[in-house]
Structure 1
Amino acid sequence: MEFTDMLNTFDPEIQQHMLGLFFRDMLIYKAKLQKCESPIEKLFALYFLYGEREQGFGDSAMVLIEPQYEIHLNSTTYRVDFLISVQISGQFVRLIVECDGHDFHERTKAQARYDRRRERRLKASGYEVIRFTGSEIVADPYKCVTETMELMKQMALNNTAKCINQ
């Protein structure tokens, strides 16, 4: 069934609301995707934005995905691919998602060393980090998003140090 055919099954007032929500969502998606630096980041973000609605964290959860988020630690600024923040059951859970494309990450020993040191500093500052290779994201972006959401739910349930009470 085509989109317009499906839309026409609803009365005009509902159609207007549906289109309004659709266009609002498209603007949100566009704004988030424009901040992404690579095709694999865009793919992850798109599936996260869509998947959060499908399997999400529940109606009471507040979810925010921030592409290319800057984290300031002492005199160093790290830009992470995504910082995902979710408020679940009174817990504010924050997770860094890194999308590792082969063209940049671990291309050299120095880059691999920098990435590992950076991740250790982020973890020492209370951030949890989950990494996906570009191949994983391209092969099954939905699985990567599901794994991300499951980790965040587990973090909230375990009340780990990575959860920040606010």
Structure 2
Amino acid sequence: MPSIYLAGKISSGDWRHDLLGWQLRGAWEHDDDTPSRSWPVIKKGVLDTFDYIGPYFISDDHGCGHGPGTHGCGADGCVPCYSYENLPKRSQVRELCLTAIDTADIVFAWLDDVTAYGTLVEIGYARGRGKNVVVAAPELPHTFEDLSGHGLGIPDGPTNDLWFAFSCATRTLTAQTPREALQQVVNLFPNLESPIEEAFWAAYLQIAPPELNALKPQHPVFGGRYRIDFALPDKKFGIELDGYSWHSSPEAFTRDRARQRELELEGWRIARFSGSEVTKDASDCVRQAAALVARI
């Protein structure tokens, strides 16, 4: 199951608690109010799909741990619920966050607040570590290209000052709430059947060629009798990956050709890549598929 780190502005009872509910409260604590040294993993905690690996917070009904610069762990000028000398210091909190990002398959950032300074660091760190970085907000920032022909006027918008962080994402999304955005993320990271499919999909997400925009994995055809590994249904263009273990027998060879003929009679065009091609250079396979679509 893919693991996910949820970056974004931290506040008491924030959107992460809406997603994880009771599972998040108290997950990073011992009975003596002293947190454990490492963060736990909440299996399938996010939309019953992604393993949640961070960030975690100190549960505190007074909100003492959620000040402007505490990152969910520290006193903030009110009567503390805990003996705060037991809490990790800022350097430890930083290392916990970065360690969680190191282990994440996906780093998702809800970036709708210009004071989310820690989130900016997390996005940059995740990009530098080669992670799948998805940044979402109710509105995406305008780019410099958007301003051409507008004189010196700069469009208003809550995220415009954050364009640099958005440009570091491998995917940007718009949604009204983090939950809605994460439901889109579920479609970006499907459960695939083989390592070569996972490699091809990862390369597709990284390159994001416009010709393959809205590529669908495991697309059913003929009422579900067949599934095409990856497809652009509107264009009737499919991509099949032929792993040796699944396609090497005489029966599989015959079945594959019969299915291909049936698809072609229905107007589909199928690009086939061997498993060894994908293993050697998945990115090149993605680029070739995009070039084929561009020729159609």
In the superposition, the TM-score normalised over structure 1's length comes to: 0.66
Q: What is residue 235 of structure 2 aligned with on the other side?
A: 93
Q: Distance in 1 between matches of 2:160 and 2:293?
A: 39
Gaps of 5+ in 2: 1-119, 126-158, 174-180
Following superposition, the deviation at residue 31 of structure 1 comes to: 3.6
Count of residues in Structure 1 that have an aligned counterpart in Structure 2? 136
Show CA shifts across 1:40-88 (max 9, x none): 1011111112212xx534xxxx821111110016xx7211111125xxx
Is residue 136 from structure 1 mapped to residue 284 from structure 2 by the alignment? no
Following superposition, the deviation at residue 24 of structure 1 comes to: 5.8
The DSSP-based 3-state class of the residue aligned with 2:247 is coil
**Are the aligned partners of 2:170 and 2:205 in contact in 1 as well (CA < 8 Å)?**
no
The DSSP-based 3-state class of the residue aligned with 2:227 is strand
Mapping of 1:3-152 within 5 angstroms?
A: 4=121, 7=124, 13-14=161-162, 18=166, 27=182, 28=184, 31-52=187-208, 55-57=209-211, 63-72=213-222, 77-85=225-233, 92-106=234-248, 108-152=249-293
The DSSP-based 3-state class of the residue aligned with 1:79 is strand
Alpha-carbon spacing, 1:50–1:23, altered in 2? closer, same or farther (3 Å): closer
Say what the alpha-carbon RMSD is for the aligned residues.
3.5
Q: What is residue 164 of structure 1 aligned with on the other side?
A: none
The DSSP-based 3-state class of the residue aligned with 1:34 is coil
Alpha-carbon spacing, 1:137–1:29, altered in 2? closer, same or farther (3 Å): farther
Q: Distance in 2 between matches of 1:152 and 1:104?
A: 26
* Amino acid in the other structure paired with 1:151: L
Alpha-carbon spacing, 1:130–1:6, altered in 2? closer, same or farther (3 Å): closer
Larger RCO (CA under 8 A, 6+ residues apart):
1
The DSSP-based 3-state class of the residue aligned with 1:112 is helix
| Structure of larger gyration radius | 2
Gaps of 5+ in 1: 86-91, 156-166
In the superposition, the TM-score normalised over structure 2's length comes to: 0.39
**Are the aligned partners of 1:32 and 1:67 in contact in 2 as well (CA < 8 Å)?**
no
Q: Which has the higher helix share?
A: 1
Moved over 3 A (4+): 5-8, 21-33
**Are the aligned partners of 1:44 and 1:137 in contact in 2 as well (CA < 8 Å)?**
yes
Q: Distance in 2 between matches of 1:104 and 1:98?
A: 12
Q: Which has the higher strand share?
A: 1
Percent identity reads: 24
Q: What is residue 160 of structure 1 aligned with on the other side?
A: none
